[in-house]
Structure 1
Amino acid sequence: MLYLQHFGLREPPFSLTPDTGFFYNTSGHREALEVLRVALRSGEGFIKIIGEVGTGKTLLCRKLLNALEGDTWVTAYLPNPLLGVAELYRALADELGIGLPVKATVNDNLKAINSQLIDLARQGRRVVLCIDEVQVMPEKSLEALRLLSNLETEKRKLLQIVLFAQPELEDRLQQPGLRQLRQRLAFSYRLPPLDHQGVSGYVGHRLLVAGHQGGALFAPGALKLLARGSRGIPRLINILCHKAMLSAYGRGESLIGTRHMLAAIRDTDDAQATVWRDYLPWLYALAALIIGLEISALVYLARGGAS
């Protein structure tokens, strides 16, 4: 691609596809992984990871799944939370390699899962189920997850469940019908956005992974605008950086400056609203100053005319 050649890159640095090869070990993601490791080692049934849209929950989930590869762990991943109870149990059975009859009932599925989990426990293996976007999971399916967490031996849980979700899940868990599930969430972590330094480090890291070996591609002013427009959310950072680089490439320029980043922000509603909101106090102050000067000028002219 000419775009990549222009900036000296091997691959697109700001793709929206979660790629663990581009994983940037921010303090937030590092702390989240540590919480997950501690919780899984302790054998807790439920662990909750909360993050706003675009903060890297899916990437963190994939990083965890990769880290759990080996003879000790068996992992299951459900990217689609919009499942009924029967579909949920069947999806988990498929992940665990259980062949189920087409006409198997919910109870049949649960029995087959329990039997497989017991066999894996006898082999000294531990099973972890990761579910993404849990905030949209039906209430009956959330309750079915709680029932899955009841599967245990005298020593430990047979299944540990990690929930990745947007903040809306916390509101849903306050509902009376989900209080038992809420009480079982022993570990929880909320992913924070990146600060200005974190945004600069994130951009530099992704460019390095993508093959960039030259000088800085983003001017300091552009990075400052990026941090403000993206609010430190990795997905928005990717979108804005990609658009800004396209703007610079279209002009035949190799340094991404403030005008390129402003063009990207103007083309991105979510970022545009953030920047304007940050600048509003200054705009109001400037408007007040201009109005004050105009009033003073009118008063001065009026006095001069009277004399």
Structure 2
Amino acid sequence: MYEAHFGLSGKPFALVPDPDLLYPSRRHRRALALLEYGLSSGAAFAVITGEVGAGKTTLLKHFLRTIGPEVTVGLISNTHASLGDVLDWVTSAFDLSPPARDPATLYNHFVDFVLQQYAEGRRTMLFVDEAQNIGPQMLEKLRMLSNINSGKDLLLQIVLIGQPELLAELNRPDLRQFAQRISISYHLGALDAEETAGYVLHRLSKVGGRRDIFTADALAILHYFTGGVPRLINNLADLALVYAFGAESAHVDGRQIIEVVADRQATGLSPFLDLPMPSRDDSLRVILRGEAA
């Protein structure tokens, strides 16, 4: 809709996770470095958490692209404790076809698969996205799967990606054996104001956008109402481009960001932070000083 108006080759702020648009913030670089270290060091379990919309799935998709053929990867992305046994999920993640679906057969078939990968010089790595949904019983079954080994070599590595509720689950007393096996744990926080501006400019650059499409006050107010959460930044920035397009403006300024937020608040369905509305006439001063007009 607005792409031609702003000279863009695509939508820079689509809500669908796109690893091509991953912004390498300090936190995202650190999370990637820890995942790479966990892979190379043979960590049994790694845990990456973050608030809703923090960019966990985008980060995961980016990391999966970096894994070479020496690692066999399985991904569980639709998690819920009511969707069946964890062994069903695991065998499906690796496209296995066991001769039967009873737990013993599933387990033995998966063990044979992992041992075959090891014999062929490959390790097996299982990623579980939205892992906060699977519950303590499923987590314990994953821990039991991690017992698969051959002498001193760990054959199966498991990475859990989830919201902060996952940490609460893993801190349960009945999961202390699981927690003791976690070698890497990192929480992916929100972006600060400078990183928010960098995030917007990075995404614009990926689709050929000018650096000045968003004015300085627009970027400041964008961070104010999103708290630096990437999904909220995408939502607000995308709508602001629509508003600027409708006004036939070459730029998105602070007043247009405020108008987007005010209009969403009026519907009662605003995902943005419920903060005092800054002055339309002096928005940048208000944001930078942390005041409410």
TM-score (norm 2): 0.90
Alignment pair present for 1:243 and 2:244: no
Task: Tell whether 2:16 aligns with 1:17.
Answer: yes
Aligned-residue CA RMSD in angstroms?
2.1
- For residue 271 of structure 1, give the secondary structure of its aligned residue in structure 2: coil
Q: CA deviation at 1:32?
A: 0.4
More displaced, 154-163 or 260-269?
260-269
CA contact (8 A) 2:201 2:211 kept: no
> Is the CA contact (8 Å cut-off) linking 2:45 and 2:182 kept in structure 1?
yes
**Residues 177 and 276 from structure 1, CA distance in 2 versus in 1: closer, same or farther, beyond 3 angstroms?**
farther
Partner of 1:165: 162
1:237-293 deviations in Å (ceiling 9; x for gaps): 0001011111111111111001111012222534240455998x845xx8xxxxxxx
Instruction: Identify the residue that residue 249 of structure 2 maps to in structure 1.
Output: 253
Secondary structure at the aligned position of 2:274 is classed as helix
Question: 1:108 corresponds to which residue?
Answer: 105
Report whether the alignment pairs 1:76 with 2:77: no
Larger radius of gyration: 1
- Deviating above 6 A after TM superposition, structure 1's stretches of 4 or more consecutive aligned residues are none
Matched, 1:91 2:92: no
Superposed, 1:124-273 pairs within 5 Å as: 124-212=121-209, 214-266=210-262, 267=264, 269-273=270-274
Q: Which runs of 5+ in 2 are unaligned?
A: 279-285
Distance 1:199 1:74, change over 3 A: same
Check whether the contact 1:149–1:160 (CA below 8 A) recurs between aligned residues.
Answer: yes
Query: What's the CA shift for 1:159?
Result: 0.8
**8 Å contact kept, 1:28–1:192:** yes
- Normalised by the length of structure 1, the TM-score is 0.86
SS in 2 for 1:253: coil
Residues 78-130 of structure 1 deviation map (CA, whole Å, 9 limit, x = unaligned): 101214695321222123232123x4211110111001100101111011111
Matched-pair contact (CA < 8 Å) for 1:244–1:256: yes
Once the two structures are overlaid, the 10-residue window that deviates more, 112-121 or 268-277, is: 268-277
Q: Quote the offset at 1:156 in angstroms.
A: 1.8
Q: Secondary structure of the residue that 1:77 maps to in structure 2? A: strand
> Is it true that 1:55 corresponds to 2:51 in the alignment?
no
State whether residues 85 and 106 of structure 1, in contact with CA within 8 Å, keep that contact through their aligned partners in structure 2: no
Q: Tell me which residue corresponds to 1:298.
A: none
User: Against the structure 1 CA distance between its residues 85 and 259, is the aligned structure 2 distance closer, same or farther, given a 3 Å change threshold?
Assistant: closer
Partners of 1:231 and 1:274 within 8 A in 2: no
Deviation at 1:27, TM superposition (A): 0.9
SS of 2:104 mapped into structure 1: helix
Give 1:291's aligned residue. none
Distance 1:282 1:91, change over 3 A: closer
Question: Relative to structure 1, is the Cα distance of residues 263 and 85 closer, same or farther in structure 2, using a 3 angstrom cutoff?
Answer: closer
The AA in structure 1 aligned to 2:151 is E
- The aligned runs of 1:268-307 (5 Å cut-off) are 269-275=270-276, 282-283=291-292
Larger proportion of helix:
1
- Measured in 1, the distance between the counterparts of 2:117 and 2:211 equals 52
Per-residue CA distance 1:184-215 (angstroms, 9 max, x = gap): 11111111211111111110111111122x35
Q: What is the CA–CA distance in structure 2 between the aligned matches of 1:215 and 1:146, rounded to whole Å? A: 48
* Matched residue, 1:297: none
Q: Which structure 1 residue ranges, 5 or more long, are not aligned?
A: 287-307
Structure 2 CA distance for aligned equivalents of residues 182 and 276 of structure 1: 43
Q: 1:85 to 1:46 in 2, by over 3 A?
A: farther
* 1:179 Cα offset (Å): 1.6
Q: What per-residue deviation string (whole Å, max 9, x for no partner) do you get for residues 115-146 of structure 1?
A: 11001011110111111111111221111100
